[in-house]
Structure 1
Amino acid sequence: MYLKKQRYQCTNCLSTCGAHTPVVSVNNILSNGIKKQVIGLAKESLTATVIAKIVGISPSSVERYLYANHSAPYRAASLPKHLSFDEFRSVNKNYSFIAIDAETHKLLTILSSRQSTEICDYFENRYSKKERAAVKTVVIDLNASYQSFVHHLFPNAELVIDRFHIIQLANRAFDQVRTTTLKAIEDKHSRPYKALKTNWKMFHRSLDKIDSVKPRYIFGINEYMAQQNLIDIGLNVNQKLKKAYNIAHQIQQAIHNKSPEVLSNILNTYESQNNAMDTTVSTLKKNLNSISNSCISPYSNGAIEGTNRKIKSLKRSCYGFRSMSHFYARILLIVK
């Protein structure tokens, strides 16, 4: 589209002015429709160069529209009652802090660093003690640094450790025991070795999804057998592996059934096996109150992990960012 704007000259002062139109802003060449199109394509996590080719303008013009007059909001209008904390890798291989509303899943803030001092300064300088005291729940992963300042910032908040990270910790401990067991098996062509090596995913399957009746063809072992038979072949190698498997699934089942009493009993009655599961149980026992809250709380870090996934996709498609302010501007476009 070609637009011609007429100019006028005052006969008294000889100053000039141009005609105004809603199609183009004052002192601009490109139309407002192009700007809207640039913003719409930026929400699809496209690079500035790709957007420029699609729209037909220069990459520098795209960047000017995206980053001009951008500034991070000082604070939210009100502090949510339920918060969710996490971190992600941002620019220059640094990790940044991210917080969202655990109830509405709206972005609260992104800080350039995940250091405790910067996080504390942000909340203390922007929100009053009364506002912070109104926070009821803070959901985190097993990051020990977050636990050290949450009760200082939010004195009345209950700390909830994300359920996924608890189960992940138990499964990783079982995998370490399984790997140690595999290395101790001398016959690499034996049925127990193939059961533990090739079909390792079967050992992470929930107990209620394991078929103990219908025979299936099992690759690796190359035999027809029920899934429970395959698991039994692998676990019968030694008792430590079997106990680690049982503990991992008991923890998973207690969280799934929302039974904090059962989970507490599992951790307190655990007997040391001198393997990776000891460290996991010890970690969970240290955070027993927060883990018990995760069994009954409806909130989790699922929403913030989804937001982090969008951020990672944006960073990958744009081949990374050098400027944190530019990165933050693009994040605001994809999470809204």
Structure 2
Amino acid sequence: MDNDTRTLLNLTDLHLNFPHHWLKYKVIKNVRVAQISCTLSYTPRACPNCGVINRGQILKYGFYQAKYKYGQFRAQPLVLLVKTQRFQCPDCHTTFNATSYLFEKQRTISRDLRREVILQLTRIQTIKDIAHDLFISEASVQRVLLDLADQYKLNLNYLPETLCIDEFKSMRSAKGKMSFIAVDGDQSCLFELLEDRRLCSLFKHYQQFTRQARCRVKYLVMDMNAAYDQLVKTVFPCAQIIYDRFHIAKYLNDAMNHVRIHVFNRLRKGDSAEQKQARRLKRYWRLFLQDRENLSTKVYYEGRYFNRVVNSIMILDLMLAYDQELRATYNFIQSLKRAYNQRDFTTFFQLLKLRPDSVSHYTIHRCQVLARY
């Protein structure tokens, strides 16, 4: 192998010797694999076990065949068949192998391939796709990922002033069935991911941070999970809980949807006219959850459920006339959402404490729970 080919393949270790016919192709599991044969041999300076300097007493003790995956070249997997020299030290009566900076000890993938795996892990793709593209196993990619995780050192002296936390479904093997995510609200970037979302794990993790770092957190943005309140009182003494707008809007929409489903279940058991009304409630359920100001006023002909020219507001008003409790609940929820969207929090909290007539008991209960937060 000439010097240019060595440089192209990054096989620049001078201790690697290549025969005249160093490239062969072999089909393995219906894949054409390019195999490069070489010999790794040199005169060691000292014994790595006892440290004695080699003055000619360390003997060459045969060879053994090592196989290293070397990535791909022109969309074909590349494998190095390295005939590695073995040595014997007469002073400590041990044997050792020749080494190269191209390979890691007790690893079947080369350092260059490991760097390629790390580069692929920085992109948004699955471990399975990375393993398929680089012609290695998924376990090899996972081992590289775990090695990177072990090298990561957490800065225990820093926590952002605004910390947004939530839970999400990650993997089946995750402890506690759900994982934990924290986002830096100041820089709008991911702060950390934790495998376990349970309080015992969160306490143990955040207690590692210094008290100065924990006191630096001023705002903790979260959903309405009562369990996280204990985390704030114990770990973040100076933090103020803020419930994000999405979960508050979702909380109100769930109350509205519950009443709509209750009316739908009652109507679908009635006569044919009521069953038709139930089908309308099921078909146009999104109109109940949208803000009335955002409904479309564009007129069109609806021939399946109404057989007339209508728009979104007309359809909603016709459906609200089916039940007095449905109409009252809808108007009450819209008042709450309007006050919250306009940031009129005084009116918003006053409405939460009210108990209007004809509004469903479920909605009243949900508003009382929301007022406690």
Q: Is TM more than 0.5 here?
A: yes
Q: Can you give the 5+ residue segments of structure 2 that lack an aligned partner in the other structure? A: 1-8, 16-40, 46-53, 59-86, 88-96
Q: Which of 293, 297, 316 is the equivalent residue of 1:208?
A: 293
Greater relative contact order (CA < 8 Å, ≥ 6 in sequence): 1
Alpha-carbon RMSD across the aligned residues, in angstroms, is: 3.0
Aligned CA distance change for structure 1 residues 160 and 175 (closer, same or farther; 3 Å): same
**C-alpha contact (below 8 Å) 1:187/1:193 kept by paired residues:** no
- Whichever residue aligns with residue 158 of structure 1, its letter is Q
- Provide the rounded CA distance (Å) in 2 between the counterparts of 1:188 and 1:39: 64
After the TM superposition, which residues 282-293 of structure 1 pair with which residues of structure 2 at under 5 Å, given as runs?
282-287=368-373
Q: Which of 46, 57, 63 is the equivalent residue of 2:126?
A: 46
Q: Secondary structure at the match of 1:242?
A: helix
Q: Which of 55, 60, 64 is the equivalent residue of 1:12?
A: 55
- Whichever residue aligns with residue 8 of structure 1, its letter is Y
**C-alpha contact (below 8 Å) 2:299/2:309 kept by paired residues:** no
Aligned CA distance change for structure 1 residues 189 and 197 (closer, same or farther; 3 Å): farther
2:311 aligned partner: 226
- Provide the rounded CA distance (Å) in 2 between the counterparts of 1:14 and 1:249: 91
- Whichever residue aligns with residue 67 of structure 1, its letter is L
**C-alpha contact (below 8 Å) 1:193/1:234 kept by paired residues:** no
1:113 aligned partner: 196
Deviation at 1:76, TM superposition (A): 4.4
1:146 aligned partner: 228
Q: Which of 343, 354, 362 is the equivalent residue of 1:269?
A: 354
Q: Secondary structure at the match of 1:8?
A: coil
Q: Deviations over 1:29-65 (max 9, x none)?
A: 64444223323433333234x4333213344433332
- Provide the rounded CA distance (Å) in 1 between the counterparts of 2:186 and 2:341: 20
Aligned CA distance change for structure 1 residues 212 and 189 (closer, same or farther; 3 Å): same
**C-alpha contact (below 8 Å) 2:249/2:337 kept by paired residues:** yes
Aligned CA distance change for structure 1 residues 218 and 171 (closer, same or farther; 3 Å): farther
- Answering whether residue 222 of structure 2 is matched by residue 137 of structure 1, we say no
**C-alpha contact (below 8 Å) 1:83/1:102 kept by paired residues:** yes
Aligned CA distance change for structure 1 residues 275 and 269 (closer, same or farther; 3 Å): closer
Deviation at 1:193, TM superposition (A): 2.6
1:88 aligned partner: 168
Q: Deviations over 1:209-257 (max 9, x none)?
A: 2134634536533432121111111111222111211222222222222
Aligned CA distance change for structure 1 residues 65 and 213 (closer, same or farther; 3 Å): closer
- Provide the rounded CA distance (Å) in 1 between the counterparts of 2:114 and 2:181: 29
Aligned CA distance change for structure 1 residues 62 and 117 (closer, same or farther; 3 Å): closer
**Structure with the largest fraction of helix:** 1
2:142 aligned partner: 63
- Whichever residue aligns with residue 193 of structure 2, its letter is I
- Provide the rounded CA distance (Å) in 2 between the counterparts of 1:189 and 1:237: 11
- Provide the rounded CA distance (Å) in 2 between the counterparts of 1:64 and 1:19: 22
2:344 aligned partner: 259
With 154-163 and 52-61 compared, the bigger mean Cα shift is at 52-61
Query: TM-score normalised to the size of structure 2?
Result: 0.66
Aligned CA distance change for structure 1 residues 247 and 80 (closer, same or farther; 3 Å): same
Q: Which has the larger radius of gyration?
A: 2
Q: Which of 247, 250, 271 is the equivalent residue of 1:187?
A: 271
Q: Secondary structure at the match of 1:193?
A: helix
Q: Secondary structure at the match of 1:160?
A: strand
Q: Deviations over 1:80-117 (max 9, x none)?
A: 11111111234346223332212223333434433323
2:364 aligned partner: 278
- Provide the rounded CA distance (Å) in 2 between the counterparts of 1:104 and 1:225: 47
Q: Can you give the 5+ residue segments of structure 1 that lack an aligned partner in the other structure? A: 288-336
Deviation at 1:271, TM superposition (A): 2.5
Aligned CA distance change for structure 1 residues 121 and 231 (closer, same or farther; 3 Å): same
Q: Secondary structure at the match of 1:52?
A: helix
Aligned length: 283
